[in-house]
Structure 1
Amino acid sequence: MPNTAVSPKEELLAVIAEELGMDIDDLSDDTDISELQNDTALSRLILKRVPVGLQDDINRTTFQSCTDIADLKAHIDIVMALREPPKHSDERKAKLPIVLLLRGNEATAKKKVFLLPDGSGSGMAYMSIPPIDPSICLYGINSPYLHSPEVFNGTIDDLAQIWTAEIQKVQPNGPYTLGGWSAGGYFSFEVSKLLISKGERVEKLILIDSPCRLLFEALPPQVVECLAKNNLMGNWSEGGTPKWLVNSFVSTIGAVEKYMPTPMVLPDGVKAPEVFIIWASEGVFPDGVEAYPELDMSVRVTRFLVNQRVQFGPLGWDKLFPAQDISIAKMPGSHFMIVHPPNVDTLGKLLGDVIQGRPAEAKNDWQRWRNRS
């Protein structure tokens, strides 16, 4: 008998056609879906019917970043490639570029922003960030070892060399705006140093809830295991934290353990990048740390993740940017939830402040830390 199974992508397209009042055969690649961007009620109807295999990855901001059905299909293909079983890793690697365009139109964009991945190694971690401005392209960066983290035993410097080359394929020359969440802060810092060493200008560097390695240890694997077991590593469905995510975190931790950053040194006449830090304000554990006795709370980075935050200074990053002021903001949400709704709306607003040069105007959100180190 022929295989009549319907893929999640086909299911979603059928739902969209039905809610738009169209026949599925009339839903072509160039079908404009701006109606979904403007009609919140219609978007909600469709989102309620998203197939199970896509529920973690299709949200209200997805429609805002896709101008037509072809864009939406491409987004779904990336999502499904990430969710395939780990076999055929070479084939899967070929499907996914290292630099992913998440928002914007490359033909008309005036500015490009590159966000390095967190410990998951996936640039899709940033997919829920709402559109910042039509003139801005937002890119998420994938790890080259996203589908085979177990074979990576190199260093953050090794990864930074690869990412620098890939970013320059998209934007050959500066000025650059770079950033990263969690371990992505380390990655973006090292990529910035490499670009500057090549004679390029890095205009802005955005560190998103990234505990500076000068003060904080690498995250203990036991913490990852505890978070994964209790489904606290993001907005995952009832299936819990996927195994590929845990494997990627373990691989990243191995690189972070070997990593100790050195201060940014600028050649004569080179302007330093503006540095921005965004801190989460809440702890990861909703039931309090007492509910998780297996964790060693003497480890500083563990306390950083799980406890309610009370410190919002540079927390070590000032030592890496000697005599340079740093702009700092805090936002609602825990470390793993700041990139998910509803907190991601605040993150998007803060990123917009940085990219469009508004921190000085948004004084209620940003504080200027005067560096005298």
Structure 2
Amino acid sequence: MKIRGFRIELGEIEAILGQHPQVQAVVAIVREDTPGDKRLVAYITSQPSATPTSNELRQYLKEKLPDYMVPSAFVLLETLPLTPSGKVDRRALPAPSDRTSSDTIVLPRNPVEVMLSQIWSTILKLNLVGVKDNFFDLGGHSLLAPYLMAQLKEHFGKDIPLTTLFENPTIEQLAIVLQKGVDTFSNSPLVAIQSMGEHPPLFCVPGAGGYPFYLYNLARCLPKDQPLYSFQANYDKQKLVSMTSVEEKATRYIQAMQTVQPQGPYFLAGHSFGGKIAYEMALQLLDRGEEVALLAILDTTAPAAIPRSYLELLDKLDVASWMISFDYSMKAVYGKELNLDAEQLRSLAPEAQVQYVLDSLKMADLLPPDAEPSYLSEVLEIYRAESMTVYVPELFYPVPISLFRSSDVFAVDESEISDPELLEYSKFFREKALGWDAFSSRPVDVHCVPGNHVTILRLPHVQVLAERLNACIQQVHLTIKNRELTLFG
């Protein structure tokens, strides 16, 4: 077989892979799922005792074979498909569609990495690309590299020489190159988590802290033609105090959203604190005469006055306590162990505290290596301000609400609550609709999804959330289509 002018010995690849101690059986083939694009793919079954990752197999082969004989994809199967005569049925081997679940993936952590991951996924025909993955290890080659350079020019307005790609072959490295001399985090709060697709975008507001990249898995689990945008609360520090109200955030987010979609109908969603911002966005849009086709609230209690005693308790927390709380939230959202030493943190000076938390987040791959202390300081300030924000809507337009609430609900022991205001506030957690009935124009459409407040947006639970959210979106599309057919015959 020949690929890009090189003669490929499939039997030699199979023989060497078969010597790997964790490989039980293997077959290598050349696929051409897209006309003109031949790919070398290896299919393996593993030994019962251990399962190798794609990266391990790739490195193993690189030590024994030239690069052009290293498969661009490895597919792990429970058994190889066989013909009636007992031979491997090569026609029944599935097309590679994603990475193996055992691979360690570092998801995008800023808008530049998000955009690069989308470009790489399209070029390499992979559903999931990590920011530490090597372009050439994933099947990139000299014929695809110029196309990648053209995409970088189109999206970033920069002419990047091919040598730069060879010197910086990962998304993480290339993002740092692209950001040199440019403000890493632009003034616009809009972040394109998934920009491809012809359907109207879903605009999803993240929780406290305005750090939207944990929504990446939600975008991946929605259909490929469903765009998803989010928002990052990166304001000027001088404007931080005046921009922490829900109403002002909603206004700013609408302005950014309308650069992508000037008119409705709009599809909105919000998780945690972001659910309240999404609701306020819906009110402001309705007040302007726009249509809100869907408002999806992701495990958020309805707007209510937060008890004064609770706010006083938060106000007494020192900076170190807020950092610990933020670090814990990041750990919960991303499922990473940060190993933060609270006693050591409190012993440091303020600037050293920020650096300590920054290093912790970088070591966990939750921030890129070029993230500055000033960025973390801003995010921490926003997180603290949003955690203490009281939101009682000034406008009121009943709007249909779809609520996706977690099945693993944190139990509140009301017998231990002595404060009457806190006791009244806790009642929202007992209600099926989390208090949203008073704000909806019809009975709240409640969907109970697996996981807790955080894990509903992590794999594997996010797959169920995405499936049910997409069903709601499709139902709205059908309603709009039927309405148009009725109006225009």
Q: What TM-score, normalized to structure 1? A: 0.63
- Structure 1 residue 195: Cα displacement: 1.5
Distance 1:56 1:103, change over 3 A: closer
Shift of 1:247: 3.9
Aligned to 1:66: 121
> What is the match of residue 337 of structure 2?
238
Is the radius of gyration larger for structure 1 or structure 2? 2
Distance 1:336 1:149 in 2: 31
Aligned partners of 2:108 and 2:130 also within 8 Å = no
The code of the aligned residue for 2:437 comes to D
Q: Structure 1 pair 329/38, CA: closer, same or farther in 2 (3 Å)?
A: farther
Q: Which residue of 2 aligns with 1:205?
A: 295
Match status 1:276 vs 2:402: yes
Aligned partner of 1:328 in structure 2 is: 446
**Structure 2 unaligned residues grouped into runs of 5+:** 1-53, 77-93, 133-170, 341-356, 359-375, 479-489
Question: Which residue of the partner structure matches residue 247 of structure 2?
Answer: 157
Q: How does 1:1-373 map to 2 (within 5 A)?
A: 18=58, 39=96, 42-44=99-101, 47-48=103-104, 50=105, 54=106, 66-68=121-123, 76=131, 91-94=183-186, 97-103=188-194, 105=196, 108-129=197-218, 130-145=220-235, 151-154=240-243, 155-214=245-304, 217=307, 221=314, 227-228=325-326, 233-239=332-338, 244=376, 246-254=380-388, 256-257=389-390, 259-262=391-394, 264-265=396-397, 273-283=399-409, 299=422, 311-321=430-440, 323-357=441-475
Sequence identity (%) = 16
- SS of structure 2 residue aligned to 1:119: coil
Partners of 2:225 and 2:201 lie apart in 1 by 9
The answer to whether the 8 Å contact 1:277/1:327 transfers is yes
Shift in CA distance, 114/56, structure 1 to aligned 2, threshold 3 Å = closer
- 1:275 and 1:230 map into 2 onto residues whose CA distance is 30
Question: Aligned partners of 2:420, 2:298: CA distance in 1, in Å?
Answer: 23
CA separation of 1:103 and 1:25: change in aligned 2, threshold 3 A: farther
Q: 5+ unaligned residues in a row in structure 1: which ranges?
A: 1-13, 27-31, 266-271, 361-373
* Contact persistence 1:56–1:235 (CA under 8 A): no
Residues 1:317 and 1:248: Cα distance change in structure 2 (over 3 Å): same
SS in 2 for 1:160: helix
Cα drift, residue 235 of structure 1: 2.7
1:109 CA drift (Å): 1.2
Letter in 2 for 1:193: L
TM-score, length-normalised on structure 2?
0.50
Give the C-alpha shift of residue 112 in structure 1.
1.2
Q: Is the 8 A contact 1:284 1:336 kept in 2?
A: no
Distance in 1, matches of 2:425 and 2:96, equals: 42
1:143 counterpart SS class: coil
Report the residue type matching 1:314 in the other structure. Answer: A
* CA deviation map 1:13-52 (0-9, x unaligned): x9599479899999xxxxx99989964784335x23x5xx
Relative to structure 1, the CA distance from residue 169 to residue 208 in structure 2 (aligned partners, 3 Å threshold; closer, same or farther) is same
The code of the aligned residue for 1:98 comes to P
- The alignment of Structure 1 onto Structure 2 pairs a total of residues equal to 305
Is the partner of 1:43 in helix, strand or coil? coil
Shift of 1:246: 4.6
Could you give the per-residue CA deviations for residues 338-363 of structure 1, whole angstroms, max 9, x where no partner exists? Answer: 211222112112211211118x9xxx
Instruction: Tell me the secondary structure at the aligned position of residue 338 of structure 1.
Output: helix
**In 2 relative to 1, CA 194–72 (structure 1 residues): closer, same or farther, beyond 3 Å?**
same
**1:279 aligned counterpart, secondary structure:** strand
For the 8 Å contact 2:97–2:126, the answer to whether it is kept is no
Letter in 1 for 2:217: S
The Cα of 1:315 is off from its aligned counterpart by 2.9
Deviation at 1:324, TM superposition (A): 2.4
Q: Could you tell me how far 1:67 is from its partner in structure 2?
A: 2.2
**Is the CA contact (8 Å cut-off) linking 1:183 and 1:210 kept in structure 2?**
yes
User: 1:135 Cα deviation (Å)?
Assistant: 3.1
CA shift at 1:201, angstroms? Answer: 0.7
Check the 8 A contact 1:33/1:68 in 2, yes or no. no
Judging changes above 3 Å, is the alpha-carbon distance between structure 1 residues 33 and 159 closer, same or farther for their aligned structure 2 residues?
Answer: farther
Code of the residue aligned with 1:99 in structure 2: it is: L
CA distance in structure 2 between the partners assigned to 1:214 and 1:24 by the alignment = 64
CA contact (8 A) 2:305 2:392 kept: no
State how far apart, in whole Å, the 2-side matches of 1:335 and 1:178 are.
19
Instruction: Please give the secondary structure, in 1, of the residue aligned with 2:227.
Output: strand
Q: Deviations over 1:150-189 (max 9, x none)?
A: 9444321111111111100000111001010011111111
Give the letter for the 1:261 counterpart: P
Secondary structure of 2:296's aligned partner = strand
Q: Is the 8 A contact 2:121 2:129 kept in 1?
A: no
Q: Please, which moves more after superposition, 276-285 or 147-156? A: 147-156
Deviations 1:111-139, CA, capped at 9 Å, x for gaps: 21100121020221311113322332111
Cα distance, 1:42–1:333 mapped onto 2, change above 3 Å: closer
